[in-house]
Amino acid sequence: MAEHANRYGLLGRTIPHSFSPRIYPLLGLESYELFEREPEELLQFLHEQNWSGINVTIPYKQAVMPYLDEIDPLAARLGNVNTIVRTPERRLHGYNTDYHGFYALCMELPHSLDKKPCLILGTGGAAKTAACVLEDRGHTVYFASRNPRAGSSSHLSYDELASSSIPFALLVNATPVGTYPHCPKAPLTLDALPHLETVIDLIYNPSRTALLMDAERRGIAALNGLRMLVVQAAKAYELYTGKTVSSGCIDRIIQQLDFETKNIVLIGMPGSGKTTVGKELARLLGRTHIDMDDAYTKAYKLSPQDAIKQLGEQVFRTQESQLLQQIAARSEQVISCGGGVVELDINYQYLHQHSTIVMLDRPLEELETCNRPLSARYGVEALAQKRMHRYRMWSDVCISSQESVVATAKAINDALIHTHNTCSHTKE
């Protein structure tokens, strides 16, 4: 076989934000690459002899099928391939491991959903895979899309959902709407679906899409696509290597990815030490640190203190929120927010979508008030009375300031590790 034949990777067109290069080394592959190819390059790539196995993503899951020597019956049934293995005889075998991934995700569903009607948003390959799994589990499946299949009672338009009498209990988003960097954004609101018990979004970046946050607000169970992603990768790894991946290994990878890719956001009163602790926490974890006050100054050529004085607090809050939307959509950062970030409700959505929010609690008498115009104007006690309940309501974890910055950063890290090892990641 040709040199470098043990290469593995992901074949797609535009895939810079894929989690796959993080997952496969955790499973045991020494290296995993991204193979970005244009449609006209597809055939040449498949004929190259310098790789042993690839995963396939949009837009090539169906396009690769005519060039394969053998297609697994499940992949043939689904009409798309997401894994290709080159055999020792240099034959290309195609498989679909997404089925196994979505099936594992469905194992998280309560028995109360058994055989109840399901609605899938989208009609592409992911939607077909989800439908196949749900039908195998005894559900009646319907589809919603902008341009539904004419004459089909199981295909609805988004507008028709409002007048539908079908009591959909499960909603699955199989569209890319809401994926980073176009977030938070949702394909629809849940107003027209009053019987929902669970919402699944196959998107995993951000970890909580606008659709999932809408479900949370209504008290509806919400699941993202991270488990599906890891399980389908584990199944592909088994096809590549012949080795079995344990369920415990899968759970550990999910926990690790969730912890490592989410932002850590520090909120709290002005002067509570969010910037200094944030810098130390970022150093401890090897992450980028973003101080929102510094980011505002860089973006608007005006410090927050001067902006409040010259433009007024309302203008400053709007600008701060717009900047926060951009920054919070990214991954793997430690973000130190200004004390007034909780003044606008929309900011919670920006932070909650892909972050663990930590409240840094410090006694009021210890807060630094120098260069804090709102603390000076209203008084620390008045600001605390106005904001403290929001800090506590927004936060996933509350940490009291320790004897030093280093000790506080370590306390945050320890608390987050404990939280991710013992708790569900969906905030109720």
**Cα 244 to Cα 27: distance, rounded to the nearest angstrom:** 10
The CA–CA distances, whole Å, from 395 to 132, 181, 255 equal 39, 24, 19
The CA–CA distances, whole Å, from 262 to 335, 364, 417 equal 11, 30, 13
Q: Which residue has the tokens 């797609």?
A: 12
The closest of 365, 359, 355, 374 to 427, measured between CA atoms, is 355
Q: Which of 61, 235, 262, 274 is catalytic?
A: 61
**Cα 240 to Cα 54: distance, rounded to the nearest angstrom:** 9
Residue by residue, DSSP assigns 380-426 as HHHHHHHHHHHHHHH-SEEEE--SSHHHHHHHHHHHHHHHHHHS-SS
| Distance spanning both ends of the chain, measured CA to CA | 53
- Clarify whether 61 is annotated catalytic: yes
- Specify the DSSP class assigned to residue 63: T
**Cα 178 to Cα 137: distance, rounded to the nearest angstrom:** 27
Q: Note whether 27 and 253 are within 8 A (CB).
A: yes
Question: What six digits make up the tokens of 365?
Answer: 């008498």
- Specify the DSSP class assigned to residue 113: G
**Cα 207 to Cα 202: distance, rounded to the nearest angstrom:** 10
- Active site residue ranges: 61
